Amino acid sequence: MIPVPSQVRIWLAVGRTDMRRGMQGLALQVQETLGRDPHLCIG
């Protein structure tokens, strides 16, 4: 099992994803669907 600190949030999305979109396309989908910055790092 991978240890995860309690303050870390993990977002799961169910459904199909077209992996051919590439990282930029997938990041844009996250921004549009969840309204969150996929590049945001919480330290």
Predicted pLDDT of residue 41: 58
Length of the chain: 43
Helix (H) or strand (E) holding 33: helix 22-34
pLDDT at 43: 47
> Could you give the 3-state DSSP secondary structure of residue 39?
coil
What does pTM read for this prediction?
A: 0.47
Q: Can you give the pLDDT of all 43 residues of the chain as single tens digits?
A: 888 888 888 877 777 878 888 888 888 888 888 887 877 755 4
> Nearest 5°: CA angle at 8, between 32 and 35?
10
Predicted pLDDT of residue 33: 83
Contact yes or no for 17/25 (Cβ under 8 A): no
